Amino acid sequence: MEDLQNMEENQKSPMSKGEKVLLVFGALVVLLLFYITLDANKYRAEVRVIEGAGAVGVNPTTELLDFGDLSRGTSAVRRVSIENETGIRMWIGVVRLGSITDLLRLDKNYFVLQGHTNERIEFTVYMPASGEVGTMYSGRVFVFRIPIGW
């Protein structure tokens, strides 16, 4: 009976100061990750392999990184402009996911963008000889912008 009373007392005890600090820190980390995810520019990226020598079909769009149709041995370039209209420096990071990841190269990644400036990131897809005709390589590109104070 005493064990049952001790268990009930232990369950009702308030959180210690260390537990509260840990809980607040965890909540701040979750909120920061949520903010970072919301502030990311998200792009769909795709390219289709076509038959032929040197054949390229590019789709002019600004909403996604559409590299169009590429035959083996050809490449296409798309650019994304990042503007920092605030006076706060931003850490920029690009994450690529999906089947297009191995084909997609970028000229800069993980850099600091000064306040009131802009940069352009250049994405290049090169279709290797091993590209299977008719295959659509696709994925997502996330451009994260995280304010930094140092």
CATH of the domain at 134: 2.60.40
Q: What is the length of the chain?
A: 150
- Report the share of the chain in percent with pLDDT over 90: 43
**DSSP letter string over 29-58?**
HHHHHHHHHHH-EEEEEEEEEESSSS-EE-
> Does residue 62 lie within any of the structural domains?
yes
Instruction: Judge whether 144 lies within some domain.
Output: yes
pLDDT at 3: 56
- 111 confidence band (pLDDT: 50, 70, 90): very high
Banded pLDDT at 120 (limits 50, 70, 90): very high
Closest C-alpha among 79, 72, 69 to residue 52: 72
Q: Which residue has the higher pLDDT, 56 or 137?
A: 137
120 assigned to some structural domain:
yes
- In angstroms, how far is CA 50 from the centroid of its own chain? 28
Is the pLDDT score of 26 beyond 90? no
Q: Is 17 inside any structural domain?
A: no
Inform me whether the pLDDT recorded for 45 exceeds 60.
Answer: yes
Q: Is there a contact between 95 and 116 (Cβ–Cβ < 8 Å)?
A: no
More confident of the two residues 33 and 89: 89
Which range of residues forms the domain containing residue 132?
41-148
- Does residue 49 belong to any structural domain of this protein? yes
pLDDT for position 128:
92
Residue 131 within a domain: yes
Domain count, the chain: 1
Please report, as a single letter, which amino acid is at residue 33: L
pTM: 0.70
Tens-place pLDDT, residues 55-107 = 556 665 656 788 989 999 999 899 999 999 888 899 999 999 999 999 999 99
pLDDT for residue 146: 84
Asked if residue 118 belongs to a domain, the reply is yes
In a domain, 21, yes or no: no
Strands 56-57 and 111-113: unpaired
